[in-house]
Amino acid sequence: MSAPSPQPLALTMGEPGGVGGEIAVKAWRALAGAGPAFFAIDDPARLAALGAPVAEINTPEAAAAAFSARLPVLPLDARVEARPGVADAMNAPHVISSIRRAVALALSGAASGVVTNPLQKASLIASGFEFPGHTEFLGKLTESAPMARPGLHRGPVMMIAGPSLKTVPVTVHAPLVQAVRSLTSGMIVEKAIVVAEALAIDFGLEAPRLALAGVNPHAGEDGALGSEDREIIAPAVEALRKAGVEAIGPLSADTMFHEEARARYDAAICMYHDQALIPAKTLAFHEAVNVTLGLPIVRTSPDHGTALDIAGEGIARADSLIAAIRLAGDIAARRARLR
C-alpha cells in the first residue's frame, strides 16, 4: 500500500522588515507548477502588496488546491505593519505566533513540515524572547511530542546541507571561547548519533559516514597545539565507532573540506558555529539549507539571514528558500513512506 501524499508545508513569516516576504513570493512563483505545495502563515495583505496573487485560506488542506494559481496564506490574527529594512520589536509577537502555529500544524499532521523564513534575533530578544534562535525554540516547542519513529535520539541539531557538503556544529550560538570550553565527548557523541540517524532516515543513506573536525590547528598535533582534540574529540570518535557509527577524526579542519576529502564522509561534525558554516556557505551559499535534525517534525530554512540592507529592493534571491522547501518536501515524503 502506498503512503498518502504529504500535506502542504507551512512557511513562517520571519522578520517582516526583511526579505522573507519577497522570497516567499518568488519561491511560490518558482514552485507553483511542480510543487511541493506550501502555505504562508502571514498577513495576506502584506504579501499581496509584494505582488503575489493571494488565496486566503482557513485550513492547510485548502492550500493544495489553490497553490498552482495563487499563493495560499493562512492569516495571522493581526495586520502586520513593517518597513523594509527595519526590524521592529513591536512585530515580535506576530513573528513568534507564526512559528508557533506552523509547529502546531506540523505536530497535528495538518502540515507535512515547517519551513522558516529568517529571524532578526536582536529585535526578538529585545521583546523578551528567551531563545538564541529558531533551533532552540523549535526544540522547546516539540520537546513533549513523540519522535517520528520509536527509539530515535532527540535533538535539536543544526545541519547546513548543500549539494556537496553537509556540516553540523556541535556548539551553535555561543561565543567561541565559551564554545570550546563547553565541549565534552558526551555532547559530541549525542549530536553525532542524531546526525547519523537523520542521514539514514531523512536522507536515505544506508551506512552514514561521519568526519569529526579537530578544534585546534592541525587537530592539536597530538597535544602540541592543544589537548582538546586528544582528550575530548578522539574519545568521542571511539565511542561512536563502538556504537556502530562509522566515524573518522579528529581531522585537521583546514584540509577536510576540499573535494577529494569530502568524498570520504557524508557529513562533517564541527566543533563550533563558523567551523561548520563557513565551508558550507562558501561552497553553496545560494543552494544550502539549514535543517534541524532530531525533531518530531520536519524543519528547514534558508541558510541566510533577513538581509535588511536589501529588503524592499526586489533583488533578494530565493534560491535557498526554494531549496529549503524542496528538501522539506523530500524529507516529509520519505518519512511518509516509512510509516
1 pLDDT more than 80? no
Q: How confident is the model at residue 102 (pLDDT cuts 50, 70, 90)?
A: very high
**Which pLDDT score is estimated for 123?**
87
Identify the pLDDT of residue 234: 98
pLDDT in tens, 56-90: 999 999 999 999 999 999 999 889 999 999 999 99
pLDDT at 121: 85
pLDDT digits (tens, 9 = 90+) for 293-317: 999 999 999 999 999 999 999 999 9
The helix/strand count (H/E) of the chain reads as 13, 12
**Which grid cell sits at 58?**
482557513
Domain 148-295 has CATH 3.50.50.60: no
Q: Where in the chain is the domain with CATH 3.40.718.10?
A: 1-145+318-333, 148-295
273 — pLDDT class (breaks 50, 70, 90) = very high
**Looking at residue 203, what is its pLDDT?**
97
User: Is the confidence at residue 218, as pLDDT, over 90?
Assistant: yes
> 122-156, pLDDT tens digit by residue?
888 888 888 888 889 999 999 999 998 888 999 99
Closest CA to 99 of 72, 117, 75: 117
Q: pLDDT digits over 154-188, tens only? A: 999 999 999 999 999 999 988 999 999 999 999 99
The pLDDT of residue 122 is 85
Question: What distance in Å separates the CA atoms of residue 244 and residue 163, rounded to the nearest whole number?
Answer: 26
pLDDT at 3: 45
Whether the pLDDT of residue 245 is over 80: the answer is yes
The bridge status of strand 114-115 relative to strand 166-169 is unpaired
Instruction: Single out the residue of 106, 76, 109 nearest to residue 93, CA to CA.
Output: 76
Please tell me the predicted confidence (pLDDT) of residue 5: 53
Task: Write down the CATH superfamily of domain 1-145+318-333.
Answer: Isopropylmalate Dehydrogenase (3.40.718.10)
